[in-house]
Amino acid sequence: IEMYRKAIHICPNFSIAYFNLACALMEVDRYNEAVMFFEKAEKLGLKSFDLDVQLALCYIALGNKKKAKERLSDERVKSEVEKYVEGGLEL
C-alpha cells in the first residue's frame, strides 16, 4: 500500500497507481478508501472492465447493492461480461 502511495506522490496523474492502490486496500477490507481511489483512477481517464467489477465488489462489501448493480448494468460492462461467458450464461 505504501509503495502505491509513493508512486502516486511521484506521479499524481498515473491512474494505474490509483487502481492498484485501491485493489491493495480491498485486500485488507478498507473498502471506503478503495472506492475513493477507484473513482480517482476513473476521473484520471482509466476505463476498464476490471475497474467496474472491482468497484461493484466494493459497493457490495459496503452494503450498497444498488450502486453495485448500477455499475454492472452499464452496457459497456455487459458487453465485456458477454465476451467472457459467450453462450455459457444468459444475462
> What letter would DSSP give residue 74?
S
Nearest to 73 by CA among 44, 52, 88: 52
What pTM was computed for the model? 0.83
User: Could you read off the pLDDT of 2-45 as tens digits, one per residue?
Assistant: 999 999 999 999 999 999 999 999 999 999 999 999 999 999 99
Q: Which residues contact 3 (CB under 8 A, 6 or more apart)?
A: none
Domains of the chain: 2-85 (1.25.40.10)
Looking at residues 48-67, what average pLDDT do you find?
94
> In angstroms, rounded to a whole number, what is the distance separating the alpha carbons of residues 91 and 78?
8
Closest CA to 49 of 76, 27, 24: 76
Give the C-alpha separation, 8 to 22, whole Å. Answer: 12
